[in-house]
Each structure stands twice: as C-alpha cells, then as structure tokens.
Amino acid sequence: MSSAVAGPEIERLIQLLARLPGLGPRSARRAALHLIKKREALMAPLTSALQVAIDRIQVCKTCGNIDTKDPCTICTDPRRDPAIIVVVADVADLWALERAHAINGLYHVLGATLSPLDGIGPDDLAIDTLVSRAHQSQVTEIILALNATVDGQTTAHYITDLLQDANVKVTRMAHGVPVGGELDYLDEGTLSAAMRQRTLF
C-alpha cells in the first residue's frame, strides 16, 4: 500500500519542508497543506521572497553576517560603536543578541567553535580576520559571546591567547543565574559559575 497521498510535486514540497529545523514529516504535511490552501496570500509571496534570497543574500566579508549587501547593514551603520567587537560562533547568535538590543557594537562571526571531535580546527574558523580587526586602532574591546560549553570555552581561551599582543581588552559574557531564575531549578554548573562571578550589590 502506497503512503503517498498526493502527486509527486506535492510530495516533493513536503519532503523539502521536512528538512527544515523543527519540522518533522507531520508538521511538514500541515505546512504544505496550509501553503497550498493559501497559494495567493502566502505561497506566491514566499516563493518570491525565497527567490530574492537566492539571488541577493551574501556573507559580509568584514564580519561574517548574512545580508543582502557587503559590507552588511550592521558594519555600515554609523550609529554603531566601532571600538567594540562582539565575537559569536554563528549568525543565529548575532541575531539573538540584536533581538535583545544587548550591545551597540560591531560583530565578528567565527562560523563555529573549535571542536576536535567534529574535525573543526582553527583554520576552519574566521579567526585570522578577527585578529586583524582587533589590531585596528579604533578597537578597544573584544567581547567573547560564545556558548558556555566545552567547545565554546576552548575557543574563547584560544582567541584570548591570540589577542594578547593586541592593545584591546578581552571580556566575555557573564555566566550564571538568568534574570527571573529560581535557584532551586538551576543546575550545579550554573550555580557554581554564578557564585564565582558574583558582583557587588
């Protein structure tokens, strides 16, 4: 008995949607059905937006962000503080910090973190360009906004060592109790990090 419920074109649409993060086969079927029902209102504009993305999206050669121009919107924004460069592993991390309006500096996307188990070494990351940017006269601080994982912290230590001869302050994001967090629900590692990084009240 065949499991296909529609023609090959619709099945192909479902298979492609199922490749997206967070969408399994059932969610992909629901999304495909929704798109098909709303062809004019949703599918046509989505198709157009995807085509524009294919044609125009590029990687910023300065920071590694994804945008429709190079240098990107962030790098060319005159309101940004050029003295601060925030180092992130991935564009998703950059976007998360931007959503939070956490800082008004510039960014540098490494592309990943060092991970010997995954075969990712220093040559696979955009570290050389970061070191070059750190030596620019207007840069005074490099903020390492990397995940609090073994790979993230290994990458942070590696970069810190490379930047010792640059005339910049190297800082990292604080780790510990999140805003609104209750101590009883936090894991031991988070509590230990919070206690080690305690500040004056």
DSSP 42: I
Q: Which residue has the higher pLDDT, 75 or 198?
A: 75
Q: What's residue 83's pLDDT? A: 97
Q: Would strands 105-109 and 169-172 be described as parallel, antiparallel, or unpaired? A: unpaired
**Rounded to the nearest 5°, which phi and psi values hold at 120?**
-100, 115
Q: How confident is the model at residue 3 (pLDDT cuts 50, 70, 90)?
A: low
Q: Are 107 and 142 contacting, i.e. CB atoms less than 8 angstroms apart?
A: no
* Tens digits of residue pLDDT in 76-122: 999 999 999 999 999 999 999 999 888 999 999 999 999 999 999 99
Helix (H, G, I), strand (E, B) or coil at 171: strand
Q: What is the pTM of this model?
A: 0.83
Q: Which residue has the tokens 């046509």?
A: 44
Count the residues in the chain.
201
- If pLDDT is split at 50, 70 and 90, which confidence band does 1 have? very low
Judged on CB neighbours under 10 Å (0-12, 13-18, 19+), 160 is middle
- Residue ranges and CATH numbers for the domains of the chain are 15-56 (no CATH), 66-172 (3.40.1360.10)
Cβ–Cβ < 8 Å for 112, 54: no
- For the segment 38-77, what is each residue's pLDDT rounded down to a tens digit? 999 999 999 999 999 999 999 999 999 999 999 999 999 9
What local confidence, expressed as pLDDT, does residue 80 receive?
A: 97
